[in-house]
Every structure is written in structure tokens, then in C-alpha cells.
Amino acid sequence: MKSDLLEGVKVLDLANVLSGPFAGYQLALMGADVLKVEARGGGDLARKLGSSPDLSERHLGISFLAQNSAKRSMTLNLKSEQGKDVFRQLVETHDVVLENFRPGVLARLGFSWDTLRQINPGIVYCAISGFGQTGPLRDRPAYDQIIQGMSGLMSVTGDSETAPLRVGAPISDTVGGFAAAFAISSALVRRGRTGEGAFLDVSMLEATLTAMGWVASDYLVGGSLPIPMGNENRTAAPSGTFTTADGKFNISANKQEQFEDLCRVLGCPELATDPRFAERETRKANRKDLEDEIEGILKQQPSSHWDRVLSAAGIPGGPVMDVADALDSEQITERGLVSTLQIEGLQGVADATIGPEGSVRLLGAPVHVDGAAVGPTTRPPLLGEHTDDVLCALGYSPKDIESFRSEGVI
């Protein structure tokens, strides 16, 4: 289901690829009416990105499908005077403008923050960029990998031999998108009280640093420079990834009682009183010895066995899964995180994951609202699919629209 928490909120999504469209998608899932304003020709670059060349050729690349359901799409040439006039009218009738251009691009097109709030004093303008709208790095281009490296995230990912290592998902883009969606929602709450709009400057670099939490605070507060420790948790032991008879298994026995329970369940209660492991700090100092002792036992049974045993004992643990196993798991299925949508024109696409009627599986929101899963109920839009409808709603005639099309405005 699609939530109604943001019902009535109208969003202009000018963003491309990931961070901005992801933010717009979260707003759409919560009930906002999100209109993608795309460039003529190719539209959002994500339409051409993804592992399926067939889908990319149809301007429905997997990267685009992933975060653009529940939106509408129009094309508009913001460099033309007529296009600017149309956009002014859209700003007048919408609540949010969302973009992830480089700082200053929208202003150079004639729509600075001052101009936007003159058009609509209650507008919420959210600009997502790699480094923010101010500072010495504001004009630098940035992709997720660049931000991962410059935030220090890569320096603490991997181990002493493999670090620095990129996190295997575009985490900086995604965290930046979540930060933007949260800030927009917060700004709308204030506007509901005061009628005042807001200018939101979201930095992917700062969002990533903030998401690192205690890892960053270890340096800020404790003066300790975090180091890459692979799958180990520097705050506790045993807390990391262990080898079983058939795979890898995570255990996080971070509390003293959890460690003692783990020793009991594994049939080695003597480890709980061993001077090397009896207390948190001694366990951390001797984590390799402790890992060897525990793995010697874990290797005697498969991960499924230890999953049942540790779960029954209340010890945090779980198998290390691949993406397919995680998405198809009973837990995720029961929670309804994945939705199935039919997309016109995809019948016959040579891709094993697309159903015979052009159906695809897409992620919804990581939140249940009023006891129900929140997911997309309408498919991602075709490029410019709703252009005519939007212009008609603004009062343009079919003749006007045809003129716009012939003159390259849409």
C-alpha cells in the first residue's frame, strides 16, 4: 500500500540518478504527489543505467526503476523562456522543489532560492550535493564512491590488507537521500505551523559522516583514530563473522551475560572464566584466541543449526546471506518490503527476473504505517508520460502544447 502521511503534498523532483530521486521516492511512498521534471531527450540519466541493456535501451534502466515508482514524469527545457514560464507556474502550485545539481546550477537557470520564495513564499527548496552549497569543495563533482573515500568511510572498511575498501552499495547516495526526505518532511511540519518555506542544503559528505556515528565519535571524543577491522566490532568480542561447517555466521555477544550464555550453548563454559576472556577488555585484547576457540566448535555444525540454537538462547547471531537469499527470506516476504508491479512495454524482455506480463519486483519503504507495509502502487513513469496532462492542468491548450513540442520546450 501507499501511505497517506504526505497526502496533498506536491513535489517537483528535478533530480537525477540516485540521491535526489531516492529522496523523492521516499516522499512518494509516504503519499506525496511527486512530479519528475526531466530534460528532453534522455531524461534522468538513471534511465540508461543498470545491469539489463534491454531495459536501459527502453529508457527504463534498473537504476531508474529502483527509485521512481509512484511518480509522474514530464519533460521540460528549462533553458528556454517558455520552459521557464512553465516552471514558474509549477513552483506556484507545488510545495517542494528537490534537485541534486551542482551548487548554483538552478540559480543560473533563473531560479535561485530568493527567486523561488518570491514565486511561492511557502516553497520548501531542497538542494542535495556532494559537499554542500558552501565551502571550498562546493563546486567539485561527486559520485557515491568519491564521497565514501573523502568521508573516511573507505578507510575503516575492510581489514589491514584490503582497506581502503568501498562499501558494496551506494551508501552515501542513499543516506543523503534519506537525510533529504527527513529534512523536507520536517520543513513541511514547520510550514504547517507558520506558513514559512525553507531552504535545505543537504551534503552527502556530511550525511555519510553523520551516519558513521560512534566511529566518528571515537575520534572526536576519544581521540582514537578508527582503523579497519574487517568483520570485527572494535567495541566488543566475540563480535564478528565466524566460519561454520558450511558458511559464515555473525555473532555479536556484546554483553557479558550474552558471552556467558554463548559459552554455555556452545558447550564450553570454561571460556567464561578463562582469564583471557572473563571480562570485556581482556576479550578484546585476546580476540584472535577467542575466535579460534569458538570457530573450532562452530565448524562442527552448519549455519542453520547455530541459527536455531543461538536464537533460542537469545544470543544475537545470524547467517551471512547473499542479496538474493536476503530478499527472498521468509522475514522479508512476511513484512512485504518487496512489491510486484506491471510495466507496460516490458513483455518479452529477455531478463529472467521480469515476469511474462512485464512484472518487476521493487523495494518499498523500510517503515510500516498503521500496521501495514508501504510500497509503490503505480509503476515508474515513461519519459515525459504526463507532460500533456500537467500542462493541461496549468491551463495550456492542445494547440499551445503542440507548439511547445515543435519549438523544443517539451
The confidence band for 221, taking pLDDT boundaries of 50, 70 and 90, is very high
The sign of the CA dihedral 61, 67, 69, 73 is: negative
In the set 173, 289, 322, 400, the catalytic residue is: 173
The confidence band for 381, taking pLDDT boundaries of 50, 70 and 90, is very high
Direct distance between the N- and C-terminal alpha carbons of the chain, in angstroms, rounded to an integer? 32
pLDDT at residue 229 in the model: 92
Portion of the chain with pLDDT greater than 70, in percent: 98
Q: What is the pTM of this model?
A: 0.93
Average pLDDT for 247-253:
96
Across 276-387, where does the E strand assignment appear? 317-319, 338-342, 359-363, 368-369, 372-373
- The contacts of residue 53 (CB under 8 Å, 6+ apart) are none
The confidence band for 344, taking pLDDT boundaries of 50, 70 and 90, is confident
Rounded Cα distance between 104 and 132, Å, is 11
pLDDT at residue 58 in the model: 87
Residue 182, classed as helix, strand or coil, is: helix
Average pLDDT for 212-241:
92
The confidence band for 211, taking pLDDT boundaries of 50, 70 and 90, is very high
Residue 196, classed as helix, strand or coil, is: coil
pLDDT at residue 342 in the model: 87
| pLDDT of 348 over the 70 cut | no
Mean pLDDT for all residues in the chain: 94
pLDDT at residue 351 in the model: 63
The confidence band for 352, taking pLDDT boundaries of 50, 70 and 90, is low
* Other Cβ atoms within 10 Å of 145 Cβ, number: 14
Q: What are phi and psi of 34, to 5 degrees?
A: -105, 120
Dump pLDDT digits (tens) for 130-144: 999 999 999 999 999
Dump pLDDT digits (tens) for 18-28: 999 999 999 99
DSSP secondary structure string for all residues of 103-131: TTHHHHTT--HHHHHHH-TT-EEEEEESS
| pLDDT of 155 over the 90 cut | yes
Dump pLDDT digits (tens) for 57-104: 889 999 999 999 999 999 999 999 999 999 999 999 999 999 999 999
pLDDT at residue 358 in the model: 79
Across 285-358, where does the E strand assignment appear? 317-319, 338-342
Amino acid at 327: L
pLDDT at residue 347 in the model: 66
The confidence band for 343, taking pLDDT boundaries of 50, 70 and 90, is confident
Side-chain-facing half-sphere of 99: CA atoms under 13 Å: 19
In the residue annotation, 173 being an active-site residue is answered as yes
Asked if residue 209 lies in contact with residue 216, where contact means CB atoms within 8 angstroms, the answer is yes
pLDDT at residue 350 in the model: 60
The confidence band for 1, taking pLDDT boundaries of 50, 70 and 90, is confident
CB burial readout 43-69, b (16+ within 10 A) else e: bbebbbbbebeebbebbbbbbbbbbbb
Q: Which segments of 166-286 does DSSP mark as H helices, in order?
A: 171-194, 204-211, 214-220, 256-265, 280-285
In angstroms, how far apart are the furthest CA atoms of the chain? 85
